[in-house]
Chain A
């Protein structure tokens, strides 16, 4: 399909431009008011005069750090505004298209400004001044609006919308739902830096900076929570990881087709059992008075064990039941890798007189290696993730010292205990670490030339 040469009417372009411009002016005004206010209060506290503006404030020796910050910030704001004006001028030129050079310039500029803004935001958060924090948001917002305005008004975009509007409509529901349930809550992350009180709302609660984070690290629970989460994942990886590999190898070499099919059906099935039911089964089978396992132990002359209450059994049961439930399911990727092997290799091995074990050792395992390494790396990226669903169900009062992982703690103290800000801070910390881990791990996967996630 050729892309049509018709363009959007000038009125639409102009109104888009106007909207962008109004947005920028509003941002700048907002910026000016906040900077002035925060500067005034800072100077009043410092015993300085009342009359000043943005630039003179930057020259007041109030605090070296704040001064440097504001100077850099001003430069950044000016850069953003210049960028914006340039884009507005460009937009007014007819038949504007984004060239390769412009794209590169925009991307680099955008990355630099975003990175600097992030540094500023962190700095502002540590100063414990919400006004300064808000002003730091201005350059990235200005910049983003400028970019969107440029991209939207360029010729290619208008043609694309005209040509592919149905695709955008098909995408819309998914984009909207993800926005409401994933992106919108990110606005609420700020309560991690506030002392959240329901009466004041998210934006109205008192700003406390990094207090929630320092509180967490100062508390007795921080080490325990992180260690519990980490160890549960680490032991889980060590024990559970080899099972699907071995199972896939042996499944693949079963010569009876119908039996193989049946086996596949059965070993996938436990994956679909709900965590409530799984943990329910554990409680019933392992109960010291009525459970089958303890009846068996007693009939063999042992004494019954309160499996679900004892600290020493929690991780073993958690991991063993995970293996029982998911090992079969996790063979899928390995089997897919095995089916991709060229059958000629097996025949050649056969002619050379290889036994099945030798085939496994010299053909199958090398072919599975990329998948094994990819999954191993991925698992390493999830070392601080919490299987909250299951751990919460398996938690009993006596086993709290080991069953308290981060997800469970956040639920218990946050949703149940109402300590929203404190738990939001813990959650944010872990999410950021997890995100960084996944990026690192993906980078490693790319470097080692294995398949990467994105």
Chain B
């Protein structure tokens, strides 16, 4: 993709008006990048600064009064650590299962077989019509899945959208000649899938890992509906509880605002605010690491899958 991305301009000399355009373009992009990066950077800065420095507005571009108070509180927060562990378990097992199931089905859907149209319709209908939250909740409850680890791992296990992307990728990137050759050599669908298709689909497998992994890591709503025990909660749901205190803080804000003394907040509340910055950093770092490490697969895999899908 990158090759065609560039070749369009190489052969042609740039004129003055084009240079003006290019530099204006560059300028605009720098502004956009700053707008995207700054809020995230600020959260990191604030998480390393003292409460006083944050709220007086001195810590903006670089940590002021460097402190780790917030992180100390985060790593002493038993529920948060427990939920962090839970989230890792749910994400790793759930994502692995999802990717396996999706790749298997995606391969099957690239071959011709009796009933393929029906199966396709079966999946596509499921993408556009569901029973809705309440029937889903009641059925899963009656299946005995309420408040279990199982539901955190297998709910939303197959995303039809991802299935279609993977199918498109396999059918465009794995040539049919390979299938015919393998079949002549006596392979069956299983051997062909495991020995030929999977090794040739590394890109889309990486993309699937990111899609499913990030979705599962970021999901707070499932646990909100299906989990009652605190010890089973995933990170995002606990994070929501901690940040929900920000809502309480906001009513406090309006209360303070009413008395015209915005600065008169107790130390405990200030510290709780710093902890929130730290929580955000701690919760987002794994996703960013995953994204950056998988990045080289990314642009290509996503485009191929989405273009024709």
User: Residues on A close to B: CB < 8 A?
Assistant: 1, 156-157, 160-161, 164, 166-168, 170-171, 173-175, 177-178, 180-189, 191, 196, 201-202, 247, 250-257, 259-261, 263-270, 272-277, 279-281, 283-285, 287-290, 292, 295-296, 299, 304, 306, 308-309, 324, 328, 332-333, 335-337, 339-341, 343, 346-347, 350, 355-357, 388-389, 392-393, 396-397, 407, 410-411, 414-415, 420, 423-424, 427-428, 430-431, 434-435, 438, 454
The answer to whether A280 and B276 have CB atoms under 8 Å apart is: yes
A275 CB to nearest chain B CB (Å):
7
By the criterion CB–CB under 8 Å, are B132 and A254 in contact?
Answer: no
Structural contact, B29 and A289, CB atoms closer than 8 A: no
With A290-B265, A335-B303 known, 7 other A-B pairs at CB within 8 A are A166-B190, A181-B157, A247-B32, A265-B292, A267-B33, A304-B262, A389-B221
On chain B, the number of residues with a Cβ less than 8 Å from chain A's Cβ atoms is 123
Cβ contacts under 8 Å, B15 to chain A: 355
- Chain A residues whose C-beta falls within 8 Å of the C-beta of B5 in the assembled complex: 252, 260, 339
Cross-interface CB contact of B22 among A168, A254, A427, cutoff 8 Å: A254
A350 to B26, CA, bound (A): 21
Whether A427 pairs with B4 at a CB distance below 8 angstroms is no
**A284 and B246 within 8 A (CB):** yes
Contact A272 B135 (CB under 8 A): no
A274 near B262 (CB under 8 angstroms)?
no
Complex Cα distance, B156 from A310, in Å, reads 35
> In the complex where A178-B123, A438-B128 touch, is A285 in contact with B42 (Cβ < 8 A)?
yes
Interchain CB contact under 8 A, A171 and B6: no
21 A-B interface contacts by CB (under 8 A): A161-B114, A170-B189, A173-B101, A177-B157, A178-B158, A185-B130, A185-B131, A202-B138, A275-B218, A277-B280, A281-B43, A284-B276, A289-B253, A289-B256, A332-B303, A346-B8, A397-B251, A410-B134, A411-B225, A423-B134, A454-B124
Closest to A202 in B: B138
Q: For the complex, would chain A's binding face be called helix, strand, loop or mixed by DSSP majority? A: helix
In the A-B complex, the 6 residue pairs with the smallest Cβ-Cβ separation, listed nearest first, are A188-B135, A160-B114, A427-B132, A274-B218, A174-B105, A185-B131
Q: Mark B40-62, 1 if CB is under 8 A from A, else 0.
A: 10110010000000111100100
> Do the beta carbons of B239 and A187 come within 8 Å of each other?
no
Contact A167 B111 (CB under 8 A): yes
Please name all residues of chain B whose beta carbon is closer than 8 Å to the beta carbon of A188 when the two chains form the complex. Answer: 131, 134-136, 138-139
Bound CA–CA A171/B100 (angstroms): 11
- Min Cβ gap A393→B in Å is 7
Bound CA span A157–B116, Å: 12
Taking CB atoms, residues of chain A closer than 8 Å to B225 are 411, 415
- A359 CB, nearest partner CB in chain B, Å: 9
- A417 vs chain B, min Cβ distance (A): 11
Contacts of A265 in B (CB 8 A): 292, 295
